[in-house]
Amino acid sequence: MPAEVIIGILNYGLILIFGLCLSVEIAGGCESRRQRRTVALLCVLLLLIQISPWLLFGVDTVKRLYPLIVHLPLTLGLIFLLHKPLGVSIVSVFTAYLCCEILNWVREIVSALTHSVLAGEISYAVLIVPVFLLLRRYFVRAAYEAMTCSKAALGLFGSLPVAFYFLDYATTIYSDALYAGIHAVNESLPALLIVFYVIFLTAYHVQTQRRGSAEMQSSMLEAKWSQAQTEMDAMRRSQAQTAVYQHDMRHHLNAIDAFLSADRTEQARDYIHRVQSEVEALSVRRYCENELVNLLCSSFAEKAQQHGIRLTAELRLPAALSIPDTELCTVLSNGLENAFRAVSGLDEQQRTVSLYCGVRLNKLLLEIKNPYQGEVVMCEGLPVSDRAGHGYGCRSMQSIAARRGGLFELQAENGVFLLRLALPLNG
C-alpha cells in the first residue's frame, strides 16, 4: 500500500477526532471527567461505525454517508450525552466542519506547490494539532459567547457554517460542480471564507470584551456616585435631625419636667421612650463595624420600608477591609438593587430579601436571597433580560470576582434566586 494512502487513512481518523473535539469545545466544552470519558467513547464509536462501509464500499461512499454516520450521531451526542442546547449543538458541528477547510486548503496548496500528494498529506498530519490548539485558544470562546448570548446571535453567526455545509456537500461530495477548475484554487475559496469568519468572530469577541470593560467602568463610576450620594444623604439627614432636635429639645425637656413636677413618673418615662424611638428610627443604623456598609444598608432599609419589603440583614464586617470602597459598594448596591427589583412585583407577603455579608477564612462572603416569579434564563452564568440597561450590575460583580480571583455564582431554583460572592482579602 502506497505511503500517501496509509497517511491519508491516518488523516481521515485524525480529522474525525479534530472535528469532534472542536464541536465539543465550541458547544461549551466538558464540565466533568465523566463528560470527557463520554467524548472519548463517542470518538471511538464513530471511528468504528465507519469501518464497515469503508471496507465494503470504499472511501467515497463513506464521504457520502458522513452526515448520517458522523455528524448526526455527534449532534445527538452533544444534546443527550453532554446536555448542550439543540441550536448550539447543531451550529457547533457545522462550525467545526467549516474549520476543517483550513487543513484541506493547506494540504491542497502544499500538494500543488510540491507536486507531491505525500507532502500534502504529511503537512495535513503535522498541522492538525497546532491548528486545533490555535482555534481552541483564540476562536472557540469567541464562537461560544457569540452563539449563546441570544437566539438572534445564534441564528446570525450560525447561518454561514450551516449554509457552507449544505453548499459544500452539494458541490463537492454529491456532485463535482465546484471542481471544474484547478482543485487547489477551488479549495482556497472555502478556506478564505473560514479565515475571514474566524477573524470576524474574534474581532466581535474582542469588541464585546471591550464593551463589557467599559460597562464595568461605568458601573464603578455609578457606584462611586451612589456611595457619595448615600453619604451626603446620611449627612444631610443627620444635620437636619440635629437641627430639629436642637429646636425641639427645649419642648421635650419642658414636657418631661411638667410630668415630673406633677409626680407623673410613669408618663415621663413613656415620653422619654417615645423620644428615644424617634431618634433611633431617624439615625443611621449600626449593622457592623464598617461605616460604609452601615450607610448603604441603612439607605436600603429605608427604601425597603417605603416599598413594603422585609429586609433581614446579618453583617459581620470589620471597620477596615482590603477591598476598595467602590468595589464593596458595587457588589452590595447592585446585589440589593437587583433583589429589590425582583420582589417589587410580588405580593406584599412575598417581598422578602435576605442579606448576609461577613469575613471567613480571609475571604469576603456575600449572600443575597430573594423569591421570584416566572422563568429566569441564564447565559454564561448571568440572567438574560430584555430591559434596557439591565444586567450591567451582574457583569460588574462577575468582573470584580474574576479580577480578584474570587467566585461569583447565581442560582434560580424552586422560586428562590440566590447570589453568592467570595472575594479573597489581602493580608
More confident call, 383 vs 15: 15
Q: Which pLDDT score is estimated for 266?
A: 83
Greatest mean pLDDT range, 172-186, 267-281, 352-366: 352-366
Contacts of 392 (CB under 8 A, 6+ apart): 215, 216, 218, 219
Q: Is the pLDDT of residue 335 over 60?
A: yes
SS3 424: strand
State the DSSP code for 354: E
SS3 182: coil
Greatest mean pLDDT range, 127-131, 173-177, 242-246: 127-131
Distances from the Cα of 83 to the Cα of 30, 32, 86, 375, 420, angstroms:
10, 12, 9, 19, 25
pLDDT (mean) for 233-262: 64
β-bridge partners, 310: 352
More confident call, 251 vs 135: 135
CB 326 within 8 A of CB 367: no
**Percent of the chain at pLDDT exceeding 70:** 75
pLDDT (mean) for 158-164: 79
CB 351 within 8 A of CB 342: no
Range in 57-66, 238-247, 292-301 with the lowest mean pLDDT: 238-247
Q: Which pLDDT score is estimated for 380?
A: 63
Q: In this predicted model, what pLDDT tens digit does every residue of 205-242 receive, in sequence order?
A: 666 666 666 565 665 556 555 655 655 565 555 555 55
Residue range(s) of every CATH 3.30.565.10 domain in the chain: 286-427
Q: Is the pLDDT of residue 192 over 70?
A: no
Contacts of 416 (CB under 8 A, 6+ apart): 369, 370, 371, 372
Q: Which pLDDT score is estimated for 388?
A: 45
Write the burial class of residue 14 (CB in 10 Å: 0-12 exposed, 13-18 middle, 19+ buried).
Answer: middle
Q: Is the pLDDT of residue 30 over 60?
A: yes
Q: Is the pLDDT of residue 6 over 70?
A: yes
Q: Which pLDDT score is estimated for 74?
A: 94
More confident call, 52 vs 37: 37
Greatest mean pLDDT range, 22-36, 49-63, 244-258: 22-36
Q: Which pLDDT score is estimated for 391?
A: 59
pLDDT band with cut points at 50, 70 and 90 for residue 18: very high
Amino acid 107 reads R
Q: Is the pLDDT of residue 3 over 90?
A: no
CB 107 within 8 A of CB 100: no
Range in 23-27, 92-96, 194-198, 374-378 with the lowest mean pLDDT: 194-198
Write the burial class of residue 427 (CB in 10 Å: 0-12 exposed, 13-18 middle, 19+ buried).
Answer: exposed
pLDDT (mean) for 253-266: 76
Residue 206, Cβ neighbours under 10 Å: how many? 11
Sign of CA pseudo-dihedral 306, 308, 309, 312: positive
pLDDT band with cut points at 50, 70 and 90 for residue 166: confident
| Residue 300 Cα to chain centre, angstroms | 27
φ/ψ of residue 195, rounded to 5: -60, -50
Contacts of 176 (CB under 8 A, 6+ apart): none
Q: In this predicted model, what pLDDT tens digit does every residue of 290-309 receive, in sequence order?
A: 888 888 888 888 889 888 99
Q: What predicted TM-score, i.e. pTM, was given to this entire model?
A: 0.53
Residue 120, Cβ neighbours under 10 Å: how many? 25
pLDDT band with cut points at 50, 70 and 90 for residue 106: confident
Grid cell at residue 212: 463589557
Contacts of 139 (CB under 8 A, 6+ apart): 99, 198, 201, 202
Q: Which pLDDT score is estimated for 351?
A: 94
More confident call, 109 vs 39: 39
**Class at the top of the CATH hierarchy for domain 286-427:** alpha beta
Q: How far apart are CA 313 and CA 354, in angstroms?
A: 6
Kindly report the average pLDDT of the chain as a whole number.
Answer: 79
Q: How far apart are CA 286 and CA 100, in angstroms?
A: 63
Q: Which pLDDT score is estimated for 179?
A: 55
Q: Rounded to 5, what percent of the chain is helix, strand, coil? A: 70, 10, 20
Residue 104, Cβ neighbours under 10 Å: how many? 18
CB 139 within 8 A of CB 202: yes
